[in-house]
Amino acid sequence: MSRPDDVIATLRKRNELWTPAPGLIALRGEVLSRFRVLEKRVRAVCMREDVEEWLVAPALPLDVLQRAGYFASFPQWLTVASHLADDEPTLERLAASQEPARELTTALAAPSAALPPAVCYHVYAALAGRRLDAPIHVTAQGCCWRHEGPRFAPLERCWAVTMRELVCIGTEEDCLRFAGESAEIVRALAEELEVPFTIEVAEDPFFAPTSRGRALLQRVKALKHELRLAVDSDRTIAAASINVHERFFGDAFDIRASDGQPAFTACLAFGLERWLLAALVHDVSSLAPNRAEPLVLELAP
């Protein structure tokens, strides 16, 4: 077993991982091959018979997050996409500037979209206003954005991460069954990768004070569980979460289940880079010799 820092140092030395900007990583070579295998495996464990896959958009309308109460719950994480103001004088001023990157703030239009903090918001938004005859199970993988201030660590805590989610929308019974099955899915995957794990009751880091009480309630009612993978003798990281939202999103997006009531929702979320890190911590010596010959030179730090 290596330490996470040693794994990252090894990957950097092999020129297979680099950080083009704070909180963002790039991969190549053997570690990218490992990541692709993991992506496929996680997709496979989600693609059960009654599950359909979506390709979700890379951004969300701001009103979707507003409807979901996101600004009150997790404003600290929010990342938005903004384009420039469309007027010619603004564009000409920027184009002619010697320091355009510094002058950007005054050239931006009001943001109209958020970069997704999770995949499942796409699903609730698409089903808004619908009544479902039967439970729906959707899976999708997407790039998800959570600004973590300066607390970045490659593969462990990044601004943008690769998330695969499996979402269930139905009755209370549907969602509770889904949560139980999800625990079996993550347990089996951790065993397959031979990484020691625990499954624990958890809570979201709701932003205080507006969401004070929600975290406590979440924990008391055991609505959130995390699969934590061991990455050091005394340290684990959350690599998957199982969340039961009760009627929160069914109410917020006016989605009704077959019983006519606001739908229950639940989701299983995988943070793929963390699974990769945990697997490598226990197995870094198994990386094949570096075959990425043409680039055996030091990449940008």
Residues in region 107-136 near its own copies by CB under 8 A: 107-108, 110-113, 115, 122, 125-130, 132, 134, 136
Residues 6+ apart with CB under 8 A from 98: none
Q: What are phi and psi of 87, to 5 degrees?
A: -75, 145
Query: How near is the Cβ of 50 to its own copies at its closest, in Å?
Result: 7
Per-residue DSSP letter, 61: E
Q: Which is nearer to its own copies, 1 or 22 (CB)?
A: 22
Q: Are 64 and 184 in contact (CB under 8 A)?
A: no
Which position has the token pair 């359909």? 52
Q: Which is nearer to its own copies, 22 or 180 (CB)?
A: 22
Instruction: Taking each helix axis as running N to C, give the angle between helix 172-193 and helix 29-46, from 0 to 180 degrees, rounded to the nearest 10.
Output: 150
Number of C-beta neighbours around residue 213 at 10 A:
11
Q: Which of 14, 94, 177, 196 binds its own copies (CB under 8 A)?
A: 94
Interface region with its own copies, contact rule CB under 8 A, candidates 177-185, 188-196, 206-214, 218-226: 206-214
Query: How near is the Cβ of 284 to its own copies at its closest, in Å?
Result: 18
Number of residues that bind its own copies (CB under 8 A): 87
Q: Which of 49, 89, 101, 194 binds its own copies (CB under 8 A)?
A: 101
User: Would strands 235-246 and 264-271 be described as parallel, antiparallel, or unpaired?
Assistant: antiparallel
Interacting residues with its own copies between 21 and 40 (CB under 8 A):
21-22, 24-29, 32, 35
Interface region with its own copies, contact rule CB under 8 A, candidates 55-63, 183-191, 221-229, 241-249: 55-63
- Compute and round to an integer the Cα radius of gyration of the chain: 21
Interacting residues with its own copies between 172 and 191 (CB under 8 A):
none
Q: How far, in Å, CA of 139 to CA of 158, rounded?
A: 22
Q: Are 14 and 30 in contact (CB under 8 A)?
A: yes
Query: How near is the Cβ of 25 to its own copies at its closest, in Å?
Result: 6
Q: Which of 7, 38, 42, 65 binds its own copies (CB under 8 A)?
A: 65
Q: Which of 63, 184, 191, 200 binds its own copies (CB under 8 A)?
A: 63
Q: Are 297 and 12 in contact (CB under 8 A)?
A: no
Contact characters 139-168, its own copies, x per CB under 8 A: ----x-x-x-x---------xx--------
Query: How near is the Cβ of 189 to its own copies at its closest, in Å?
Result: 21
Q: Which is nearer to its own copies, 126 or 183 (CB)?
A: 126
For the chain, the maximum distance between any two Cα atoms, rounded to a whole number of angstroms, is 62
Q: How far, in Å, CA of 118 to CA of 141, rounded?
A: 10
Which position has the token pair 């979707």? 64
Q: Which of 153, 183, 199, 299 binds its own copies (CB under 8 A)?
A: 299
Query: Is residue 300 a contact residue for its own copies (CB under 8 A)?
Result: yes
Contact characters 2-21, its own copies, x per CB under 8 A: ----------------x-xx
- DSSP result, 164-213: EEEEEEE-HHHHHHHHHHHHHHHHHHHHHHT--EEEEE----PPTTTTTT
Q: Which two tokens stand for residue 63?
A: 């009103």
Interacting residues with its own copies between 210 and 269 (CB under 8 A):
210-211
